[in-house]
Amino acid sequence: MAQKDNHPRSNKGFISTWISRIMTMIVWLLLALLMSIIIEWVGMNTTWRDEGINHSRNMVKTELSYLNKDFQQSLLVQRPVEYAEGIAAKMHNAMYVQTGIMGAITKVFQDTGAGKVAKTIAEHVLAAIYVTQVFAIRLAILTLALPAFFIFAVVGSVEGLVQRDIRKWSVGREHASLYHHAKRWIPICFIAPWVVYLAFPVSIHPNAVILPFALLFGIGIFMVTYLFKKYI
């Protein structure tokens, strides 16, 4: 009877672990969005004060140009550009249209008698809207780039297994500490581009962020498989 009771507990533990991981990922995405909005607001009053609202507006145009130029094909969706624009439109509708925020700032800009403070607040809210669109486009690009991480992982694991067999038959030394360091490095290399790229305050080509981290991810997979203990 005791053995039968262990199976539901293990299943609950597995499910709860994955739910916790998904919730953690969602929290990190929301923090990245909040961070990017705060950075944009700070920049509007310091670094790119002359550009003002145009900075975030131009970022949307630049990110879309990257998408149209270099992401015409994908292994995951048939039309990457429409996929990214669809995500951006859904986020914009859910966060700003349905909540009435877009309508409120539109009235402020149309009201000739609106005060300076009201227009300043409206400009900062509009900047947040543009930043959210940039965030959505980048989020779509990251999901489209997942096959790159998979390819680097496959190459790294195959090469690592080959090198492990060579080490096994040539009586190579074990490196337990290096193995555990490499094991901790893998999730960092996968999560870091999501935070860095999504919160980056200026336009940057996706390949400048995705490819280096995908390469590091593949190297981490290689090290883990290569340094895995010779005898189980």
Q: Per-domain residue ranges for the chain?
A: 1-143, 145-232
pLDDT at 12 > cutoff 70 = no
CA distances from 164 to 145, 178, 182 (A): 29, 14, 15
Q: What is the mean pLDDT of residues 166-177?
A: 65
What whole-number distance in Å separates Cα of residue 193 and Cα of residue 106?
35
The C-alpha atoms of residue 184 and residue 220 are separated, in whole angstroms, by 9
Mean per-residue pLDDT of the chain: 81
Question: Which of 20-29, 116-125, 148-157, 220-229 reaches the highest mean pLDDT?
Answer: 148-157
What predicted TM-score, i.e. pTM, was given to this entire model? 0.78
The sign one gets for the Cα dihedral 116, 118, 121, 123 is: negative
How sure is the predictor about 1, in pLDDT bands with cuts at 50, 70 and 90? very low
CA–CA separation, 179 vs 184, rounded Å?
9
Q: What is the pLDDT of residue 31?
A: 87
How far apart are the C-alpha atoms of 30 and 184, rounded to whole Å?
A: 24
Distance CA 196, CA 164 (A): 33
Query: 80: pLDDT confidence band, cut at 50, 70 and 90?
Result: confident
DSSP 8-class letter at 172: P
Q: Which residue has the higher pLDDT, 158 or 75?
A: 158
pLDDT of residue 2: 47
Distance (Å) of CA 12 to CA 3, 26, 139 = 15, 21, 30
Min mean pLDDT across 1-5, 71-75, 204-208 is at 1-5
The reported pLDDT for the residue numbered 226 is 80
* pLDDT value of residue 117: 86
Calpha distance 7→166 (Å, rounded): 39
Determine the Cα–Cα distance for residues 228 and 180; give it in Å rounded to an integer. Answer: 9
What pLDDT is attached to residue 151? 93
* Mean pLDDT, residues 28-55 taken together: 88
Report pLDDT for 172.
58
